[in-house]
Amino acid sequence: MFTMTESELEELQNIRKLLMLLLFKLGATQEEVSKALGVSQARVSQMLPTKKTKVAQVECSAIKD
């Protein structure tokens, strides 16, 4: 069985929060993120409050017409 150190666990939690922030910036809702994580919407709100997070204007340059 693999065990993580406190530092490794904290780093994984930080990565999860950054990914959640990215999803919010791209326009995902807390409900969508909660379903993907298998947790309640309230839990997502506790992990990363988004009231002051603004959706970014993003254009994908990898797809060309």
Number of domains the chain is built from: 1
Instruction: Identify the domain containing residue 54 by its residue range.
Output: 9-65
Q: How far apart are CA 33 and CA 19, in angstroms?
A: 10
Token pair listed for 64: 């060309």
Distances (CA, A) of 17 to 31, 32, 36, 59: 15, 15, 14, 23
The per-residue pLDDT for 64 is: 62
Q: Is residue 34 part of a domain?
A: yes
Q: Is residue 48 part of a domain?
A: yes
| Residue pair 28/42 in contact by the 8 Å Cβ criterion | no
Tell if the pTM clears 0.85, that is, is over it. no
Percent of the chain at pLDDT above 90? 43
Q: Is residue 30 part of a domain?
A: yes
Q: Is residue 3 part of a domain?
A: no
Q: Is residue 4 part of a domain?
A: no
Q: Is residue 1 part of a domain?
A: no
Q: Is residue 2 part of a domain?
A: no
Phi, psi of 39 (to 5 degrees): -130, 170
The per-residue pLDDT for 35 is: 93
Q: Is residue 20 part of a domain?
A: yes
